[in-house]
Amino acid sequence: MIFESPSKGRMSFEAMFGDLLAYLGESPDDQYKLIVGTDSHTRHETILVTAVVIHHIGKGGRYYFHKSRRRAIGSLRQKIFYETSTSLTVAAQLTTLLEASGFAEFDVEIHIDVGQQGETKELIREIVGMVTGSGYQAAIKPHSFGASKVADKYTK
């Protein structure tokens, strides 16, 4: 899985994680939140973007994104479940590596591209349940910037 960083370019998942750890090491006593969010856009095919954001609380942050293409997903429900499932898969990989690196208590949040306005409001309970049932915190619009802003920026 190849990720891109606006400041560092293309990198493997392992290199992205190493860069993330180095960033945490710059101010180890500060507070951080790890955010994973996925968004997609469908025309003739579905472009799926997963963003990994390391938020240095009160001091900015850094992000990486992975972009992939797949056959068109026509159903909004299927698309939202696929986005969330992708975020959970990446979060699980990151959580495993964080635990092995001594960050077992790290705050991980899944940003979901659903909200109280629009068609996705019917899916909120199910999707949030899927995320919290997997052991992560869930954020929906307008608080889910990892999906609705960062990942969305690269889906077009």
pLDDT of amino acid 132: 96
Q: pLDDT value at position 118?
A: 86
Segments of the chain with pLDDT less than 70: none
- Vertex 8: Cα angle to 7 and 10 (nearest 5): 125
24-57: b or e for each residue (b if 16 or more CB lie within 10 Å)? beeeeeeebbbbbbbbbebeeebbbbbbbbbbbe
For 145, the domain range is 2-153
End-to-end C-alpha distance for the chain, whole angstroms? 20
Q: What angle do CA 65, 71, 75 make, to 5 degrees?
A: 95
- The pLDDT of residue 101 is 92
Q: What is the amino acid identity at position 38?
A: T
* pLDDT number for residue 56: 94
Closest CA relative to residue 134, chosen from 39, 67, 56, 36: 36
Yes or no: say if 113 and 147 are a contact pair by the CB < 8 Å rule. yes
Contact residues for 38 (Cβ-Cβ < 8 A; gap 6+) = 48, 49, 50, 51, 83, 84, 86, 87, 90, 113, 147, 151
Residue length of the chain: 156
pLDDT confidence of residue 74: 86
- 61: Cα separation from own chain's centroid: 14
Is residue 16 within 8 A of residue 64, CB to CB? The reply is yes
Q: Is the pTM of this model over 0.85?
A: yes
In total, how many domains does the chain have?
1
pLDDT at 106: 82
